């Protein structure tokens, strides 16, 4: 297993945000040093302007612990996780912040008010999660979706998930991403319902006229290895060089991204798309580099979204 100390935030993300105006960001649940350290890194990189939500006394104490002066930072008191989650969602709904970042708070308390029609910021499309995966000493980027929000999405839902991921790829500078539909085989088989669903998804996405190349079903070797795809006789611009991988279930996605993290030392930067503001669903186990990369991606999405109709 590789140490998190070897995980690096991709330089190209930091370059992209260098000339952007800092994004006003609600940090929901700041009662932990690791959260404040991550926020400090993002502030010093010029990525965010934070609004810290939590117990003010705890926030100030941890600020002193990490030697970071919080003078000038906006702090919104919240008595518990439920109150913090509600406050973050309200700030996003009212337009007072442009992005929401999960801090030291349970995921359900963070996400529940954000996805509620009564308290959430509203959505443009079905919410879905994307992991932006990079490995040190490589310029390659692999987007994995959905590994964290949608558990077992049906065909229609997966088409929306693809739309979100393709839009993210466009925002990050890839004008025509290659999307692979993950399965256990490249053959259509009644015994493997996922392969039949992949065929339906391709048909549905063709009607959406996305600016992307989409192919499936594909086994993982045929997604990442041009040689494996050649030996299998797969003729597709996606085979062997995918930019986006659509997983069929959350279990498959969760296992895939964690194997990349723990076996390859990959940097996994996560973002929830489809809402009117980017939602950064970080984990307490995330290294600092992954947290910084997540805020950079969120800032790029937020600023790019300003110019969309």
3-state percent helix, strand, coil for the chain, nearest multiple of 5: 45, 20, 35
How far is residue 136's CA from residue 264's CA, in Å, rounded to a whole number?
A: 9
In the chain the beta strands, taken as DSSP E runs, fall at 23-28, 48-54, 74-77, 99-102, 123-134, 142-145, 178-182, 213-218, 244-246, 267-275, 279-280
Task: Show the domain range for 183.
Answer: 130-269
Task: Give the chain's residues under pLDDT 70.
Answer: 1-6, 306-309
- Entry pTM: 0.94
Q: 153 and 247 in one domain? A: yes
**Residue 131's pLDDT is what?**
97
Q: 53 and 14 in one domain? A: yes
Q: What is the pLDDT of residues 192-230, one digit of tens each?
A: 999 999 999 999 999 888 999 999 999 999 999 999 999
CATH number at residue 189: 3.40.718.10
Q: Specify whether the CB–CB gap between 109 and 265 falls below 8 A.
A: no
Domain boundary among 269, 285, 300: 269
User: Which residues lie across from 275 on neighbouring strands?
Assistant: 123
Which residue, among 52, 45, 57, 44, has the nearest Cα to 25 in the 3D structure?
Answer: 52
How far is residue 273's CA from residue 260's CA, in Å, rounded to a whole number?
A: 22
Q: 152 and 92 in one domain? A: no
Q: 90 and 16 in one domain? A: yes
**Residue 283's pLDDT is what?**
83
**Residue 307's pLDDT is what?**
58
Q: 96 and 222 in one domain? A: no
How far is residue 292's CA from residue 104's CA, in Å, rounded to a whole number?
A: 16
Any idea what the Cα angle at residue 186 is, between residues 183 and 188, rounded to 5°? 90
Q: 154 and 90 in one domain? A: no
Coil/strand/helix, residue 53:
strand
Domain count, the chain: 2
CATH number at residue 285: 3.40.50.10950
Q: What is the pLDDT of residues 146-186, one digit of tens each?
A: 999 999 999 999 999 999 999 999 999 999 999 999 999 99
**Residue 164's pLDDT is what?**
97
């Amino acid at each position: 297993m590789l140490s998190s100390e070897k995980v690096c935030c991709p330089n190209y993300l930091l370059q992209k945000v260098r000339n952007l105006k800092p994004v006003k960001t609600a940090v929901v649940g700041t009662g932990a040093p690791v959260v404040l350290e991550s926020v400090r890194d993002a502030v010093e990189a010029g990525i965010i302007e934070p609004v810290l939500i939590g117990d003010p006394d705890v926030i100030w104490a941890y600020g002193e612990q990490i030697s970071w002066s919080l003078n000038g930072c906006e702090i919104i008191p919240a008595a518990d996780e439920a109150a913090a989650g509600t406050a973050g969602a309200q700030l996003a709904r009212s337009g007072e912040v442009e992005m929401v970042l999960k801090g030291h708070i349970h995921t359900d308390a963070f996400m529940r008010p954000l996805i509620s029609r009564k308290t959430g910021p509203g959505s443009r499309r079905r919410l879905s999660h994307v992991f932006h995966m990079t490995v040190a000493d490589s310029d390659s980027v692999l987007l994995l979706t959905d590994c964290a929000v949608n558990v077992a999405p049906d065909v229609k839902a997966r088409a929306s998930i693809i739309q979100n991921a393709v839009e993210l790829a466009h925002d990050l500078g890839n004008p025509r991403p290659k999307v692979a539909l993950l399965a256990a085989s490249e053959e259509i088989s009644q015994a493997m319902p996922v392969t039949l669903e992949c065929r339906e998804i391709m048909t549905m996405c063709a009607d959406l006229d996305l600016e992307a190349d989409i192919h499936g079903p594909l086994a993982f070797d045929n997604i990442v290895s041009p040689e494996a795809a050649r030996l299998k006789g797969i003729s597709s611009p996606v085979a062997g060089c995918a930019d986006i991988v659509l997983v069929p279930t959350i279990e498959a996605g969760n296992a895939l991204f964690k194997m990349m993290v723990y076996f390859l030392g990959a940097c996994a930067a996560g973002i929830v798309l489809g809402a009117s503001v980017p939602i950064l669903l970080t984990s307490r186990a995330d290294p600092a580099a992954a947290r910084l990369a997540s805020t950079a991606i969120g800032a790029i999405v937020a600023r790019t979204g300003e110019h969309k109709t």
